[in-house]
């Protein structure tokens, strides 16, 4: 079986397929690998296992990308921050995985993004030198990872006029140009998770949302359909716990110390048509920055905080007033006209599943992932970050194969494109709206065909929102959406702005 042939199966996720596969699981409850958790790591692990020929089941008690995987900065980054703190191995791993994502795995979902540090008077010569040295080191990482400069250009210094073209609302007084580097940006993190899950399904995995795993051991679990209450007991030769910040609820031997990363959502107009990541050093720090990132649906995301988040883990974390003030204060130092709370259209926060340490600060804890084996035999994968999900999944499935003595082939995901992957001339030849190509890649052809049959599908789901009825319909028929919140909050990101969510609710409800 070649890498490309593994994606030729049925990748459509929908309610009918879910019901059928639950019935089949009841008839044949013995499987090779059970993956618990439908975030980026869990979906990646399910794809890795299924691509090795293992009978694989992924269960998620809510929806795909329900947890931390939809709350990221949507960056596929090369690990400069880790290099600055001496974590060379993690930085190199990030650069390698970024290259795999942007060239092979998901070229339709990842785009090169310029990163601009405006050289304002507050940035002294020493700090400017450090930032420039960091960008040069990033160039070396990119080169060592085999990513060509034609894809991610070399860093450089730009003139003030170029800096203002990239970031029109940057302060002009005292601006001495800017330092520019390049990184990768996802069109959306939740869309990556859906593409992973669909590719896993095409490779033979059962992807079951709204299904929770109870009484989990290293070789068994009771699966409960939260929609019907029905249960099925299964036997698995290996169980992988990929539940992120909830890992300690599946395996009590795990001790986590979550940290919270917060973002604010603005309209693109508030930043004057920002076309780069506006990157502002945090005062008093040599390695922390705040980023303003151009995003889908005519928005800008402003982040990122890194705050200790002890206590119970909520399904949807919320930013604190302190974090909001920190982000506004930091970015306003680089803007001509300061932003206020009235400019904020929405916000979101995610929790990182960091392993507990004796250190009192989460800001400098290593983001290196860990594969842990509990006394009951459960294999848990924690730590890491979105960019390195593929390596994390590979390590977890390697551990599962070794522990259970599974007859499996080697990992194939370095060479395995996801559903919709298209780039270069093939992408240029596509006849579909550009925004559809950016969100769905080659799968945009399905939306075009549906709209040709029913032109009403071209209508926006609400006035002023760049999501069409065709996209909502596709979310239900192919992407596993089971209720309106799946469409509004994860298949699209309309829900990040409460007013937009309310406006599009009727169109989402119409699909069910």
Answer whether 288's CB lies under 8 Å from 303's CB. no
Answer whether 334's CB lies under 8 Å from 120's CB. yes
Q: For residue 366, what pLDDT is reported?
A: 53
> By mean pLDDT, which of 230-244, 283-297, 350-364 is the weakest?
350-364
pLDDT tens for residues 436-448?
A: 999 999 999 999 9
Please determine, for residue 286, whether its predicted confidence score (pLDDT) is greater than 90: no
> By mean pLDDT, which of 24-38, 181-195, 297-311 is the weakest?
297-311
Domain borders along the chain are 15-69+190-255+365-415, 257-355, 424-510
Q: For residue 364, what pLDDT is reported?
A: 43
Residue partners of 23: CB distance under 8 A and separation at least 6? none
pLDDT tens for residues 148-177?
A: 999 999 999 999 999 999 999 999 999 999
Distance between CA atoms of residues 59 and 55, nearest Å: 13
Percentage of residues of the chain with pLDDT beyond 70: 95
Q: For residue 358, what pLDDT is reported?
A: 55
Please determine, for residue 2, whether its predicted confidence score (pLDDT) is greater than 90: no
What mean pLDDT comes out for the span 436-464? 97
Q: What is the mean pLDDT of the chain?
A: 93
Strands (E), 133-281: 156-158, 178-186, 206-209, 211-214, 220-225, 231-241, 259-267, 277-281
Does the domain spanning 15-69+190-255+365-415 belong to CATH 3.50.50.60? yes
* End-to-end CA separation in angstroms for the chain: 38
Q: How confident is the model at residue 287 (pLDDT cuts 50, 70, 90)?
A: confident
Half-sphere exposure of 52 (CA within 13 A, CB side): 22
Please determine, for residue 6, whether its predicted confidence score (pLDDT) is greater than 90: no
Output DSSP code: residue 187: S
Q: Write down the residue that tokens 């996801």 correspond to.
A: 418
What mean pLDDT comes out for the span 485-503? 98
How far are the Cα atoms of 12, 248, 291, 388, 475 from residue 75, in angstroms, in the given order? 27, 27, 11, 11, 23
Distance between CA atoms of residues 378 and 75, nearest Å: 31
What mean pLDDT comes out for the span 361-380? 78
Q: How confident is the model at residue 266 (pLDDT cuts 50, 70, 90)?
A: very high
Answer whether 429's CB lies under 8 Å from 65's CB. no
Prediction pTM value: 0.95
Q: For residue 397, what pLDDT is reported?
A: 98
Q: Which stretch, 225-239, 302-316, 348-362, 370-384, has highest mean pLDDT?
A: 225-239
To 10 degrees, the CA torsion angle through 356, 360, 364, 370?
A: -10
**DSSP H stretches of helix in 63-220:** 80-84, 88-100, 125-144, 160-166, 189-202
Please determine, for residue 8, whether its predicted confidence score (pLDDT) is greater than 60: no
CATH number for 257-355 (one of 3.40.50.1820, 3.30.9.10, 2.60.40.10, 3.30.429.10): it is: 3.30.9.10
Other residues' Cβ atoms within 10 Å of the Cβ of residue 14: 16
């Amino acid at each position: 079986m070649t890498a490309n042939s593994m994606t030729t199966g049925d990748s459509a996720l929908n309610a009918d397929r879910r019901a059928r596969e639950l019935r089949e699981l009841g008839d044949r409850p013995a499987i090779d690998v059970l993956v618990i958790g439908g975030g980026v790591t869990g979906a990646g692990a399910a794809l890795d296992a299924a691509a090795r020929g293992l009978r694989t089941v992924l269960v998620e008690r809510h929806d795909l990308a329900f947890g931390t995987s939809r709350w990221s900065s949507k960056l596929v980054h090369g690990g400069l921050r880790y290099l600055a703190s001496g974590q060379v191995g993690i930085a190199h791993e990030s650069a390698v995985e970024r290259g795999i994502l942007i060239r092979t795995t998901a070229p339709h979902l990842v785009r090169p993004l310029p990163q601009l540090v405006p050289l304002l008077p507050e940035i002294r010569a020493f700090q400017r030198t450090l930032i420039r040295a960091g960008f040069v080191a990033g160039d070396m990482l990119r080169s060592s990872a085999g990513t060509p400069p034609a894809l991610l250009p070399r860093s450089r210094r730009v003139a003030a006029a170029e800096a203002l073209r990239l970031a029109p609302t940057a302060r002009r007084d005292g601006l001495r140009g800017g330092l520019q580097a390049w990184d990768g940006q996802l069109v959306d993190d939740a869309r990556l998770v859906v593409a992973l899950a669909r590719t896993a399904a095409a490779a033979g995995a059962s992807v079951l949302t709204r299904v929770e795993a109870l009484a989990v051991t290293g070789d068994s679990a009771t699966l409960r359909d939260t929609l019907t209450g029905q249960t099925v007991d299964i036997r698995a030769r290996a169980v992988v716990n990929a539940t992120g910040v909830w890992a300690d609820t599946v395996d009590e031997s795990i001790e986590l110390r979550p940290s919270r990363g917060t973002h604010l959502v603005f309209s693109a107009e508030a930043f004057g048509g920002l076309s780069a990541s506006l990157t502002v050093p945090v005062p008093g720090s040599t390695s922390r920055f705040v980023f303003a990132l151009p995003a889908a649906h005519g928005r800008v995301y402003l982040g990122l905080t890194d705050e200790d988040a002890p206590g119970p883990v909520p399904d949807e974390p919320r930013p604190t007033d302190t974090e909001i003030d920190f982000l506004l204060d930091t970015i306003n130092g680089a803007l001509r006209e300061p932003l206020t709370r009235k400019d904020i259209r929405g916000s979101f926060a995610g929790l990182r599943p960091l392993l507990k340490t004796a250190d009192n600060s989460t800001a400098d804890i290593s983001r290196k992932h860990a594969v842990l084996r509990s006394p009951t035999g459960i294999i848990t994968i924690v730590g890491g970050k979105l960019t390195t999900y593929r390596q994390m999944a590979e390590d977890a499935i390697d551990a599962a194969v070794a522990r259970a003595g599974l007859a499996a082939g080697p990992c194939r995901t370095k060479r395995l494109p996801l559903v919709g992957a298209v780039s270069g001339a093939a992408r240029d030849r596509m006849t579909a709206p550009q925004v559809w190509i950016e969100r769905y890649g080659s799968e945009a052809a399905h939306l075009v065909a549906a709209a040709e049959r029913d032109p009403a599908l071209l209508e926006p789901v609400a006035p002023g929102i760049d999501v069409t009825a065709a996209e909502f319909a596709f979310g239900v028929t192919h992407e596993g959406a089971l209720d309106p919140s799946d469409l509004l909050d994860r298949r699209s990101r309309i829900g990040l702005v409460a007013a937009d969510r309310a406006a599009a609710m009727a169109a989402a409800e119409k699909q069910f």
